[in-house]
Chains A and B, each alone.
Chain A
Amino acid sequence: MLHTPGAHPVAERSFAHEVGKLRLGEGEEFRGEGILAVTKALLQSGVAYVGGYQGAPISHLMDVLADAQDILKELGVHFEHCASEATAAAMLAASVNYPLRGAVTFKSTAGTNVASDALANLASGGVTGGAMLILGEDYGEGSSIMQERSHAFAMKSQVWLIDPRPNLQSIVQAVEMGFELSEASNTPVMLQLRLRSCHMHGRFPARDNRRPTYTLKDAMETPRRDVSRVVLPPATYVHEQEKIAQRWPAAIKFIREHQLNEFFAEDAADFGIVMQGGLYNAVLRSLQLLGLANAYGDSKLPLYVLNVTYPLIDDEFKRFCAGKRGILLVEEGQPDFIEQNVSSILRKADVVTRVHGKDLLPMAGEYSGAVLLKAVTRFINLYAPDLLHGRELPTEARLALASSTLPPETPQTLAIKAAADEVQPRPPSFCTGCPERPIFTAMKLVERELGPHHVSCDIGCHLFSILPPFNFGATTMGYGLGWASASAFNGSDTSRRSISMMGDGGFWHNGLTSGVGNAVFNQSDNLLLVVDNGYAAATGGQDLPSSRAGNLRFSTGHSIERAVRGVGITWAKTVTNTYSLTQMRDTLRAALTTREHGPKVIVAQSECMLNRQRRLKPQVRQQIAAGQRVVRERFGVDPDTCTGDHSCIRLSGCPSLTIKSNPDPLRRDPVASVIDSCVGCGLCGEAAHAAALCPSFYRAEIINNPTAWDKFKARLRRVIIGWLQDRIEYRLKGIQA
């Protein structure tokens, strides 16, 4: 499984070819993805260091940085793959005493939660060099986490929140201005990138990269300290006063002077729309569909775009609302912090403009194109219904104004409804050949013997166990917190143990202390199962301390079993081949039934199949081309012995193990079928054995470039087996036509 250092393939997606765009200079046009543009913006801003922790939607930002090592080195930029978001946020401490610009990135709010300790301390003392947190806002459709807002973190720590218009030029500008804002107000800033912006392809005019004027070397060789920046009373009381008396006004001044927020067609009507910058494109599309704006953003309605959503600028609101009957505030997510703030600003200023927002828009959920179009239509209908008359309105706008009567049913609508009714959800699932699947198959088999157990889940691909066909797992409380979230179940009055899950990612993130250390200290008698697939797989296959791949950039190969023994676990077993269902099942059974008291840890170790295939496929192709003997394995099902019960699928759920119409004219139920995407992981055969399922499975071994010995054996077999097969055919002669 080990492979040579240096030949290590980068994460799931390689940006090796695209990082060349980071070298573009003044006068050239950049074309590419959002995350690449952000990286370019960092280089144009003269950062001295960058760090972060992977997680959608900014995983690829980490991958871009990792692939851009050469360019970073040339510019003297230090890049670090941080151990967690807390580590990343703490890294920004380099900007406290030194005029160093630095940026870290992680997903939000999951990562911001983890980072908030460091973030609060950073925000208290304030910064000298520009410090930026790039947040991948994982909210709305496609999100994989709880639905919360980063806005709350900005408010509680008084960190400025930038939410630029979603086009690359605006985003790049926001990064550059963000550093200046941070320095002008001695406050860290957060740049919020929404899900779809990260992977948006677009263009912007590039500028030259800048080397940091002050370097990490300078800082390390001439260290500075200022006790007034350290978070310890009485300095903390001073920090709070500073935030209000100095940093906040400085930020307001900077935002106003540099016009970070934008006004469009300010006086075009006596009502207008205020929006978070990130929602500008969708709002504008709504106006465009209603005939109230053109494709270039020329609007017939006044628009006020908050590219900085925290803090709000009271004077700008007063200015925009002057002479307006009402405004629509487009603020995604809840609580409606901005709306509350705006109401307060206007009330205190005695401005009578009505504030609409969550009355016309839904309180919760993503503001998709359809949602916004409806709300904008209703708003305009309140203030200037004439604008909507005499033109053909788009479908969603008509729906927004229609009375509650349903449109009449036609054969068309009935057919569409019938089709829509057939649609089933298709949640994500374990990939073909995933080494985590057999762990849960083994748990199913053990459950049949020992009965159900409380299963506590964690964050990672293994969380797919909560869905069919496995249906394991009661809670997931956060990354690395799988065992911690079962810590209440630690009594001596039952012999039934709880099972906690954790991935290698969560384990190194904090699970080693929050879960394992805690279980040792509190003398837990329960089981932790660490899924060690060699990568932070769910976030795109990044390396970890326990990765088994050779790696020049990081120190890897640190054993999880040794780590848990190091903090005091005595019952620890490593299963090095999770596909061995019997081994996996027996180890699980032993952990759940052993008389030995104390916390137990099983490390279930097999390489992530997605990454393994990516690593091996090119090698295998080369070997075959070079004439070497290469055996490819895959599984199959004999349709004539399969009876269509699908027990095998209920124990696996592998995408390559599916169903097809029964070729037998007498049978109706579809038969199981293995499709060609099968990678021959072996689970099908193991499950057929361990669960005594069915003899329909076979393993096919396809020998490429057979040797002379292979060929000799084949010839011999052809003769003897062929003769016997002739006899079978003789017996069956005259039955089929």
Chain B
Amino acid sequence: MNDDRVITIAILAMGGEGGGVLADWLVDLAEQNGYIAQTTSMPGVAQRTGATVYYLEMFPESVVPAGRYPVMALGPVPGEVDIVIASELMEAGRALQRGLVTATRTTLITSTHRVYTMTERTAMGDGRVSSEKLLAGGRAAARHFISADFARLAEAANSLIGSSLYGALAASGCLPFSRAQFEAAIERGGTGVQTSLKAFAAGFDAAVLARSPAVAATVPAQPLPAVGTRLQALAQRIRSEFPPGSHATLIAGISRLADYQDVAYAASYLDRLQPLAVNPLVTPVLLDETARHLALWMSYEDTIRVADLKVRRSRFQRVGAEVRLGASQQLDIYEFLHPRLEEIADTLPAALGRWLLVTPWARACVAPLLGKGRIVQTSSLSGFLLLYGIAALRRLRRVSLRFQNEHQRIDTWLAAIQRLASQHPALALEVACMQQLVKGYGDTHARGWHNFQRVMDKLPLLQDRPQGAQQLQALRLAALADDDGKALDGMLASL
């Protein structure tokens, strides 16, 4: 009596993505080609960007005796699903979690792109989960596993992901319908037919590719990034004076700093790292991490740097590409700037800047210019010239208050790394990583620097403990755990 003729399909999607359209095509496809189809979905607030499941069953009309009608289930039974379609990689993981994917039966079609969850997005550092693990799980769980970035394929065709996934399903051969029959359902649907068909074809081809035996992907050895003519001498210096393990970082560092200030500034970067490079006790990891963080710190984001990056031609082009500017369209770019007294003082020569910060009447004079956000149209002449003028202050940067402050801080930090490098290498590495806390602008930067100081104050205590490195790492992660410093407070109190 066991009747296996019913085809079961679960679509795991997010509300508002067009999973319903995919389900509608499938129903139409089935009904027009001799099958009885039933679909169910979850209405309600889950539709507001939350995870949701559409469930379909198809049954061949030809085998149904006269006067009978098959009983169809309204939801999936784990282990009894023929096809699972996931519109995003974590949703494929959710299908595994729910037991919907079985090695004996299920074809799993998933897009490999990620739509990050709130938890991943709001992390103060990198809170993303592992796509590799999700893919490996899908591969292990499914009978057939078809994966590709179906979102990108759909986007390229100016369509929604449902179309490219529908194409992949057609290519999978799991349903007893021809490609022409699949396409006819799109045509009968009537809206966005051309773009849907284009995305369908792209999805189809990608799935055919994904199903063909994997060609062993050979990862070409990463050549060192090349540098321009003016940095050749420094690149040569890197090759002769520094161990190979840190070359890639150092090359990136000098490029960045020459771009940020000038070639001499890039040279001073190598000078500062020199003592670590010649110290035989310094591990390659420590040198590399210090080099990376030093380059970032030395290119701290001041007003000059921001203005400099905003006015470049490459930036205008990048924005144009990002907004998909058409040939007949024009682009205007507006910046959201919030100059504060500190930023003005930071940009001034050190003595003048300090004086401004402590002189009430001088502060009162500048105050009207500050305190509220300004919108600057970089694509207009006046806006461009303003930012171009600020960027030109680069020549005065070396005497600015901010430069003095930052370089003092860098020196103290580097000295600590050098001091600990020989006696406490693990702790030295953690000190190097502490730079991660000092980032952002305005309040965010102030909070980060405050946390940095609070943690570094504990260094004398930590360097005498065998667990010092782990504890410093824990403190850094606590500082990155929340905005209001509660986790860090707790951790510091427990030391």
Contacts and interface: CB of A to CB of B under 8 A. Distances in A.
Determine if chain A interacts with chain B. yes
Interface of A: 31, 56-57, 59-60, 138, 141-144, 166-167, 169, 194-203, 280-282, 284-286, 288-289, 291-298, 300, 368-370, 373, 394-396, 411-413, 415-431, 461, 464, 467-469, 538, 634, 636, 638, 640-641, 643-647, 649-650, 653, 655, 657-659, 665-670, 676, 684-685, 688-695, 697-706, 710-711, 714, 716-717, 720-722, 724-725, 728-729, 732-737
A317 B448 CA distance: 72
Given A201-B37, A694-B444, A724-B384, A424 B119 contact: yes
B77 A289 contact: yes
A707 to B, nearest CB: 10
A689 B338 CA distance: 6
Given A666-B252, A666-B256, A689 B73 contact: no
A291 B1 contact: yes
B305 to A, nearest CB: 8
B233 to A, nearest CB: 11
B133 A670 contact: no
B473 to A, nearest CB: 15
Contacts of B379: 717, 721
A661 to B, nearest CB: 9
A418 B136 contact: yes
Nearest first, the 10 closest Cβ-Cβ pairs linking A and B are: A419-B137, A689-B373, A56-B44, A395-B79, A428-B50, A142-B42, A734-B230, A737-B226, A369-B77, A415-B140
B120 interface: yes
Q: Is the interface of B mostly helix, strand, loop or mixed?
A: mixed
B134 interface: yes
B322 A720 contact: no
A201 B3 contact: no
* Dominant secondary structure at the A interface: mixed
Given A282-B74, A692-B443, 10 more contacts: A293-B1, A394-B80, A395-B78, A396-B78, A429-B118, A655-B115, A666-B295, A669-B436, A688-B373, A698-B336
Interface string B352-388: 0000000000000000000011010011110010001
A583 to B, nearest CB: 13
A671 to B, nearest CB: 11
A297 B311 contact: no
B124 A695 contact: no
B225 interface: yes
Nearest to B440: A645
B334 A701 contact: yes
The interface centre, meaning the residue of A430, A467, A647 with most chain B CB atoms within 10 A of its CB, is A647
Contact of B96 (A419, A655, A703, A711): A419
Given A295-B6, A295-B59, A724 B255 contact: no
Contact of B338 (A286, A638, A695, A722): A695
Given A685-B336, A700-B331, A636 B322 contact: yes
Nearest to B372: A689
A275 B40 CA distance: 21
Given A717-B379, A729-B313, A737 B73 contact: no
A428 B73 contact: no
Which of the listed residues B27, B115, B323 has the most CB atoms from chain A within 10 Å of its own CB?
B323
5 contacts: A281-B73, A644-B125, A685-B334, A692-B338, A735-B258
A298 B41 CA distance: 27
Nearest to A55: B44
Nearest to B140: A415
Nearest to B128: A670
Interface string B50-62: 1110010001000
Contacts of A200: 38-40, 74
A666 B136 contact: no
B445 to A, nearest CB: 8
Interface stretch (B97-105, B163-171, B208-216, B460-468): B97-105
Interface residues of B, number: 144
Contacts of B99: 370, 395
Contacts of A293: 1
B325 A702 contact: yes
Nearest to A200: B40
Contacts of A706: 328-330
A703 B140 contact: no
A412 B101 CA distance: 12
B393 to A, nearest CB: 14
Contacts of A286: 77
Given A666-B296, A668-B126, A423 B94 contact: yes
B8 to A, nearest CB: 10
Contacts of B322: 636, 700
Contacts of B118: 429, 467-469, 653
Contacts of B73: 281-282, 285, 369
Contacts of A737: 225-228
B15 A717 contact: no
B75 A717 contact: no
B76 interface: yes
Contact of B3 (A295, A412, A670): A295
Given A369-B75, A666-B256, A689-B338, A431 B16 contact: yes
A434 B46 CA distance: 16
Interface in B128-146: 128-130, 133-141
A491 B300 CA distance: 51
A231 B272 CA distance: 92
B331 A693 contact: no
B136 A415 contact: yes
B72 interface: yes
B340 to A, nearest CB: 7
B97 to A, nearest CB: 4
Given A395-B102, A724-B311, A695 B441 contact: yes
B205 interface: no
